[in-house]
């Protein structure tokens, strides 16, 4: 008598051979949902040359990039987040009566088939309370959030004061 065959044919081991259809259904649904969200989020929007300027942990870090909109309608960037920051805010540097101020903005419109640059002296991300993962030479994930629920996540290399 073959012991392996006898053990594998017992009712106790029968569940090991049958797939768990409920678990497979949940996994399949999650994959389909994530795929739909990712394609919706990334469709037509690309992030180019992202980077974070990190000075010291006690000061906010600045986030810079170029955002391209390849769609036929304007897109509104309404927020951002990163696990490397306590909070991320959209800001714009403005000169008011000879004084430069960094002011929070509610949103930034990227025109249809257009682009907008987030750069020093203009629009930028403000990473409040940088965390220990904000290290020069490493990358931190940043998620850009759009009106209507779409989002795009990109790795932002962390650079020093001079941008290198």
pLDDT at 5: 45
64 domain residue, yes or no: yes
94 domain residue, yes or no: yes
Do 90 and 129 reside in the same domain of the chain?
A: yes
pLDDT at 10: 47
Q: For the chain, count helices (H), then strands (E).
A: 3, 10
Do 20 and 54 reside in the same domain of the chain?
A: no
In the chain, which stretches have pLDDT less than 50?
A: 1-10, 13-17, 19-42
Helix (H) or strand (E) segment spanning residue 61: strand 61-69
Do 64 and 112 reside in the same domain of the chain?
A: yes
164 domain residue, yes or no: no
Do 50 and 21 reside in the same domain of the chain?
A: no
Q: Which of 48, 44, 41 is nearest to 66 (CA)?
A: 48
Residue 67 buriedness (CB in 10 A; 0-12 / 13-18 / 19+)? buried
Q: What is the pTM of this model?
A: 0.72
Do 80 and 7 reside in the same domain of the chain?
A: no
Do 15 and 62 reside in the same domain of the chain?
A: no
What residue numbers bound the domain in which 37 lies? 3-41
Cβ(128)–Cβ(60) below 8 Å: yes
pLDDT at 163: 77
pLDDT at 96: 86
Do 30 and 69 reside in the same domain of the chain?
A: no
Do 114 and 147 reside in the same domain of the chain?
A: yes
pLDDT at 85: 97
pLDDT at 30: 34
Do 35 and 105 reside in the same domain of the chain?
A: no
Tally of domains within the chain: 2
100 domain residue, yes or no: yes
């Amino acid at each position: 008598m073959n012991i392996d065959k006898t053990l594998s044919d017992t009712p106790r081991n029968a569940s090991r051979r049958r797939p768990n259809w409920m678990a497979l259904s949940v996994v399949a649904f999650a994959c389909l949902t994530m795929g739909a969200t990712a394609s919706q989020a990334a469709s037509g929007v690309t992030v180019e040359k992202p980077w974070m300027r990190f000075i010291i942990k006690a000061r906010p870090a600045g986030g810079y990039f170029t955002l391209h909109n390849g769609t036929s309608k304007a897109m509104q960037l309404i927020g951002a987040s990163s696990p490397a920051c306590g909070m991320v805010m959209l800001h714009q540097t403005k000169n008011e009566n000879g004084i430069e101020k960094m002011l929070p903005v509610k949103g930034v419109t990227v025109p249809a088939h257009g682009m907008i640059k987030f750069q020093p002296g203009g629009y930028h991300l403000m990473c409040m309370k940088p965390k220990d993962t904000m290290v020069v030479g490493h990358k931190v994930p940043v998620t850009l959030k759009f009106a209507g629920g779409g989002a795009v996540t990109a790795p932002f290399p962390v650079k020093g004061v001079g941008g290198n």
